[in-house]
Structures are given as C-alpha cells and as structure tokens.
Structure 1
C-alpha cells in the first residue's frame, strides 16, 4: 500500500513540475512564443493537433471508466454474461469511420500549411527594373559557424543574421561540409542544410529584436554535426525596414576595407599577417571564405557564438579555440603569437563595427 502511495506522490510531483516548466522559455528562443507569421501558424497547427488528440484520449478514457464501473462483477453478479457483439457491422463501421474522419481533420490543415509554407515562387519575382522584389539570403552552414550572403545587396556577414521586419525573407540553404539544420525557434520550424542540394523556404519576422533581453533572437543547428554541434549557434537581429536599409548601406560602405601588414597598429598588422587569409574585414564580397567574416564583429553579442562578447573571451578563443569548440578549423594555428600580439589583435577585432 505504501509503495503505491509513493508512486502516486512521484506522479503528482512530476505533473506539477510539468505545469510549471511548460511556462518556461524566453521570447528570443522559445517555439511557444513565436515572433513571426510562420512560427505562429505552426504553433496554431500544433495546438489544433493536440486538441484533437486530447479529445480522443478523453473520450476513450471516459468509455473505459464507464465500462469499468457499470459492468464490474460485484454489481452484475457472478453469472452475468455481457451481450456478445462479435461481428457487429455497426461497431465496425463506427471504429473505422471515426478514425478516418479524425485523420482527415488533421490532414487537411496540415497539408494546406505544408504547401503554403513551401511556396517560394516569390523568391524569383522581379520589379520593373529587373531587380528581385523579395529579400533573399544564401545561408551556408559550416563546422561550426554560419555564413549569410545577401546576393542582391552584394554583402556577406557571419554568425549574425540581420533582417527587416514585416516582410517575407527567403533563404537558400546549403552546407559546406556535413549535414546541418537551420532553426530559429522563435520564428519558425527548421530546415536541413545539405551538401548535395539547396533547400529553400521563407520566414517572416514580425517583432524587432532590440527590446529582447539580449537584443537578438537565437538560432541553432538542429542536426547532430560533430563534437561542437551544441555550440553551433547564430544570432538574428531584426530591424525596422528603414533601419535595415541603413545597415545594408553601412555594410556596402566597407567595400575595399582591409588590414595592412605595414600598419603602425600592432593589432592590425598582426591580423593582416595571421588572420586576413581566412577572415575578411569588408562586408562586400562573395561567400565561401575559410573563416567567418569579421566586418561586424564589434556589433555582435557573442564571441565564437557562445562566449561573452568581451576582449577576455576573444583572447581565450584566439589562444585556444579547441577548448571552446572542439574540432573547429581554427584549432592549433595561433600558438606562435605572443601575449602582446594576441591582446593587440583582440583590440583590433573588437573595434570592427558598422553600427553607430
């Protein structure tokens, strides 16, 4: 008897914890607090499906309890024989037709949403001047960082996706090495990035991120891709359309910007000699760089996607990247830099910014 009571106490505790934990989640990363039209539609579809399934559970549970109480042997007697319904066409029709109806109720809105959210024809539409009318971003997933190219604007950035609010943003998704998966939980469902083919979909960002606790939405890799999969984050900064245009103009103004090996600044000279081969400091260019574009590094809120955005974290990353992200491609390349050079190059990288 006591063992049974303990089990019920544990069950009750778990039930209470489930209720409280279901309310957990921050706006910048929770699928249950969508900040975009796609996420809201997917959440509504999820809630609709849960409602249908809950209704089935309630009805079946009621019938079970009703039969359990009404036809118990102590009430009907030892010699009572229930009515035999084997071969009843009525019952067979009921338990065949009802599930079909429920499946259709679930399938119809699911299929409508699936085809609607997969419609990317507007990606190729052009205006009277021949320019694409929709914003398109080419996303390339790499071990263990993200590259974002805006082909119509001629700019490239990394680790931080910047998009306007109130309009559909279309994505071409691919991977440079192994399979990854692009996911912004607060905005919409994930989509795989493959090496062999390009996947396409769109998202809509309805809220500006500046009012969030960290000023950005969080993006994740949702496909196990290696030892640092859990650390393969990116951030999403959503701006009002006019602010986005200002950001694009600021990025375009960095065309030709580079670091000089002859600079009197030790940080810039060290960067030019040791880092520039892999990391660009101009937002204008093509995708495909060995390392992340650092043009907007000073505007980010994380180092390597996961560390606090400060000089100490950056020095740690430069000194020993393997301790932060095992298996990353920067590992073991900076052992010859002195502490003075590491400090100077960290100051230089932290100074890279396009935002006022």
Structure 2
C-alpha cells in the first residue's frame, strides 16, 4: 500500500509538471516548438529517446505482469519452482537488444554532435556570415558586432535563414547562453572562449536566458534574439552604425546635457560613443523591456535610474536620488532616452 501511494504521488506530480510546462509556450521560452535546424535536431533526438524509453518501459512492464500472473504462487504450492540457470538464448537476447537500442540512439547523436560543432561559415552566404561576440555580465548580455563595429545590449539581431556564429565570453562568473527555440545551451566561462552557432528559420522574437546560476539576479538575466529578413537586418545594422543624431526637441536636448554631465556616457554607448561597461543605449526607445524584465515605460525608467539595485539585486549601476538628480533633470533625461531610436 505504501508503494502504491508513493507511485501515485509521483505520477500526480509528473502530470502537474507536464501540464504546467505548457504555460511556457506563450513566452516563446520553450524547446518544444523548434524554429531552427539546431533546435529541430535536438527536438527530434529527444523524441527518438522518448520512443526508445517508451518501448523499453512497455516491454519490461508487459513481461513483468505476465510473469506475475503466470508464475504467482497458488494456494497449496509448497514446492519451490524448478530453478533454471545459464539460459544462453535469454542472455544473448537481453544483451543484443540494448546494443541495438543504443545504436539507434548513438548514430543520430554522433552525426548531430558534429553538425552542432561545425563553425564554418555558410557556403551559400560566404563573406556575409554574421559573427557576434557575446559577453556575459552580472546581470546583462553584451553583443559586439566586431565586423560592423558597434555594440548592442540585451537584444541581439540576426538575419533569418543564415548561420550566425557566436563567440562566447564571460566577464565575471560562469553564465550559460541559451535560446531554447533556436538551439542548445553553451556556457560562457571567464578566461575561456566557447563557440555556438544558431539559425532562425523564420522571423520572430526568440527569448533567451542564462541557464547557469550566476548570482542574486540570475532569474532576471534574460535577453532576446530578434530574427529579421536580410534586408531589414541590413537596415538595422546601418542604423546602429550611424552617428547619433542631435535631438530636435528642446527637452531632449537638455536631457542629453544631463546624460553627459552625469557621466552616463562612460558606461552606456550611444551611436558608437562611450564604453560598454553597461548595456549600449543605441535604439533604446524601441526596446520592449528595461533591465531585461521590466516594461520599458517612463515610470519604470525613472525608478531604474533612481535605484537600479533595488529593482535588480546585484546591479552595479549607481543610484541617482533626488539630491543628485532633480525631477526636472530626470524628466529631461527620460525625454532624451526616448529620442534614441534608429527608425
């Protein structure tokens, strides 16, 4: 009875986890809806493994119940059943069957491993292959398009239908770069360079996460992969490469002065200027989120500037209370940030 209760609880918990996992589909943070060749291979291999395990489970349980019914002890059976040892046919059978099943799993696994490790450019694209240097920080992602000579933060753009090669680094601790809908995860490790390639089969926004516990705000270390058709991608690149346009709005002009006076440019690059100590702010106005998880609206933006660490534990951005940044300067600064758009 105790075994039955334990089994029932395990089954109930498994079913609950299974149904709750369906909620991830709405966030696009799932490996069960592949949108690229790498994720499709992982999904197909996962299904193959499930089919093999299901086959083994069904056969084992079928044999178990047959034996349980056929050879159970009946009332009046006082003699010990005849003992049979060294059945060569059975030993060969239960040795050969696992070898066959392992071979079925091994062949696609080995070929797929070589496919995932192939970092050669797409021969059909040639010199236009996109290379992106990724650096994991606590708790944001830096994307350097070194060939195009600009930096993006938290949102990474790629062209559809092309192999994009990522060079993975970490600034502080171990992180793990993972876009479930497009491919598997690869760690970013301080002092070690890893590589990963991804390809999106259709335009869309694909959510990514850090899959390695990296600190207090690990759960908030999200990013987006935005896949565009090649023409749209080239237009985005041109916009990111362009020098910053002076804001025409008077309030935004005042905000730009505040941005420079507060030395924000020392951490946040805009239009190619500044460093990448913090996420680049070029095209900031078109970002959906702030700090990777907050809705990008004026209220959240002010709260973030006032005290980012209060909203995202471990964030190293300095606080700007009213004693250091007046409400008027804050209003102007927000207006300037809202003017940062490449459209």
- TM-score (ref. length: structure 1): 0.86
100-109 or 181-190: bigger deviation: 100-109
Q: 1:68 to 1:220 in 2, by over 3 A?
A: same
Per the alignment, residue 195 of structure 1 pairs with 190
Structure 2 residue matching 1:268: 3-state secondary structure: helix
Among 250, 254, 272, the alignment partner of 1:266 is: 254
Among 239, 245, 250, the alignment partner of 1:250 is: 239
The question of 1:174 aligning with 2:169 is answered: yes
Among 211, 229, 232, the alignment partner of 1:240 is: 229
Q: Deviations over 1:110-154 (max 9, x none)?
A: 111011111102279995xxxx34111111111111111112222
Deviation at 1:95, TM superposition (A): 2.1
Q: 1:5 to 1:99 in 2, by over 3 A?
A: closer
Structure 2 residue matching 1:122: 3-state secondary structure: coil
Among 304, 310, 333, the alignment partner of 1:317 is: 304
Q: 1:229 to 1:16 in 2, by over 3 A?
A: closer
- Distance in 2, matches of 1:124 and 1:16, equals 45
- Distance in 2, matches of 1:291 and 1:42, equals 34
Q: 1:82 to 1:6 in 2, by over 3 A?
A: closer
Contact 1:319 1:342 in 2 (8 A): no
Deviation at 1:22, TM superposition (A): 4.9
- Distance in 2, matches of 1:272 and 1:279, equals 11
- Distance in 2, matches of 1:57 and 1:5, equals 18
- Distance in 2, matches of 1:264 and 1:51, equals 60
Deviation at 1:15, TM superposition (A): 6.2
Per the alignment, residue 44 of structure 1 pairs with 44
Q: Deviations over 1:265-313 (max 9, x none)?
A: 331111111111111111x479x62111000111110011110111111
Number of matched residues? Answer: 338
Structure 1 residue matching 2:223: 3-state secondary structure: strand
Q: Deviations over 1:58-94 (max 9, x none)?
A: 110111000001111127x513543422222332222
Q: 1:6 to 1:96 in 2, by over 3 A?
A: closer
Per the alignment, residue 333 of structure 2 pairs with 345
Contact 1:39 1:189 in 2 (8 A): yes
228-237 or 26-35: bigger deviation: 26-35
Per the alignment, residue 53 of structure 1 pairs with 53
Deviation at 1:4, TM superposition (A): 9.4
Contact 1:125 1:134 in 2 (8 A): no
Q: What RMSD in Å do the two structures reach over aligned CA positions?
A: 2.8
| Uncovered stretches (5+) of structure 2, i.e. residues with no partner | none
- Distance in 1, matches of 2:252 and 2:40, equals 53
Structure 1 residue matching 2:23: 3-state secondary structure: coil
- Distance in 2, matches of 1:205 and 1:306, equals 23
- Distance in 2, matches of 1:5 and 1:133, equals 61
Structure 2 residue matching 1:265: 3-state secondary structure: helix
- Distance in 2, matches of 1:24 and 1:230, equals 17
Q: 1:124 to 1:149 in 2, by over 3 A?
A: farther
Contact 1:311 1:347 in 2 (8 A): no
- TM-score (ref. length: structure 2): 0.89
- Distance in 2, matches of 1:175 and 1:276, equals 23
- Distance in 1, matches of 2:110 and 2:246, equals 50
| Uncovered stretches (5+) of structure 1, i.e. residues with no partner | 210-215
- Distance in 2, matches of 1:265 and 1:307, equals 26
